[in-house]
Amino acid sequence: MREHADLLKKRKKNTAAIGLLALAVLVLAVVCLMVGVSRLTVGECFAAIAKKGSAANIRIIWNIRLPRVLAAIIAGAGLSVAGLVMQTDLNNPMASPSTLGVSNAAVFGANLSIIVFAGGFLSTGNNLTNYTSGINPYAASLMAFVFSTVSILMILGLCRLRAFQPGVVVLAGIALGSVWTAATTILQFYATDVGLSAAVVWSFGDLGRAKYRTDLIMAIVVLMGIGFFSAMSWKLNALLSGDAAAKSMGVHVDRLRFWTMLFASIITAVCVSTLGIIGFVGIICPHVTKKLLGQDHRVSIPASALSGSILLLLADTLSRSIGKGSALPVGAITSLLGAPFFLAIIFGRKGEHD
């Protein structure tokens, strides 16, 4: 009887926590809509949301800020849940969406598109006019996604040959990520000034490039991934007890790792290829969620998704508040927040062992 009461109390606590996180996402989304270099007043922002007021204000809210806010909510949720699943699959608290070298492959694909194909820098040279007239705005994202997917399939294929051991996945990701980084460096070495600048700017995590179309694509992929992970939550819970225990419960461990890693990597590939590199979201949010609410994936998956959205909304609000006329890359803000947190995890775990 006591155990049943404790279980009900825990469920109420988890439900309340998820409800508060959802409310925080809503409040921060509204706050994020109010912040920007155009310095609209709160009244002007609400009027523009209702499609009243000046045409310029309506355009700023609906065509610039709203797609950006939606991108922060969607990408934050996707990267955070991808990090949570990877940490469970690899039994590694330091695992994140960049573990498999997905981000490195995306950067190489975008660089290849910008430096060689889309902008045609081999023929346009340093002529900025030729570049702006010839570039396809979706080419870099498409190439980034293609190479990310190729990288994922290569790593997962190699791991299938070695019984999909978590250590093998990490090592394969590090090795292949180094190859993509080296290839990117070679491309940038031969790029012209304009091509190199464009390639470097693309790699910055920037929510400003979000459009309704790209938000829709990300939303479809992220929601499908979260739905799949939620359906697999009991199997992921079993995996927390170790491979032997999971197999005794009827879980096909290698198959589970393959499909969950594939979906997590695809979510990462879509977000990175659309917005650029946004680091540490997949490390910070799952850790906070598991620390506060436990490791039950039925709770940690939705909580991680909401906390990822919160972190990216906060980072975007900060990037536009301190940018002095322009928004700083949100990837820089998340890295500044994430690096101290990462060190705290390392030294905190060391202290536990002492």
In a domain? residue 221? yes
pLDDT at residue number 238: 94
Give helix 281-293 / helix 330-353 axis angle, nearest 10°. 50
For the chain, what is the largest distance between any 2 Cα atoms, rounded to a whole number of angstroms? 77
Q: Which tokens sit at 88?
A: 């469970």
pLDDT at residue number 352: 47
In a domain? residue 201? yes
Dihedral of the CA atoms 259, 296, 298, 10 (nearest 10)?
180
**Average pLDDT per run of 10 along the chain, which is 354 residues long?**
74 91 96 85 89 89 94 96 93 78 90 74 47 60 90 84 76 89 92 82 86 95 96 94 90 91 92 89 89 92 96 90 73 81 67 44
Q: Which residues, other chains included, contact 239 with Cβ-Cβ below 8 Å and sequence gap of 6+?
A: 88, 89, 246, 251, 253, 256, 257
* Burial (CB count within 10 angstroms: exposed 0-12, middle 13-18, buried 19+), residue 115: buried
In a domain? residue 9? no
pLDDT at residue number 82: 95
pLDDT at residue number 131: 46
Question: Where in the sequence is the domain holding 154, given as residue range(s)?
Answer: 72-342
pLDDT at residue number 349: 56
Number of residues in the chain: 354
Alpha helices in 192-252 (DSSP H): 193-203, 212-231, 233-239, 243-248
In a domain? residue 210? yes
Q: How much is the pTM?
A: 0.89
In a domain? residue 65? no
* Burial (CB count within 10 angstroms: exposed 0-12, middle 13-18, buried 19+), residue 348: exposed
CATH number of residue 241's parent domain: 1.10.3470.10
In a domain? residue 63? no
- Number of domains within the chain: 1
**pLDDT tens per residue, range 241-294:** 888 999 999 999 989 998 999 999 999 999 999 998 898 898 889 988 998 898
Gap between the Cα atoms of 304 and 18, Å rounded:
9
In a domain? residue 218? yes
Q: 307: closest CA among 13, 18, 11, 10?
A: 18
**Cα 178 to the chain's mean position, in Å?**
20
Instruction: Say if CB 278 and CB 205 are below 8 A apart.
Output: yes
In a domain? residue 222? yes
**pLDDT tens per residue, range 283-334:** 889 988 998 898 999 999 999 999 999 999 999 998 888 766 567 888 888 8
Instruction: Say if CB 273 and CB 107 are below 8 A apart.
Output: no
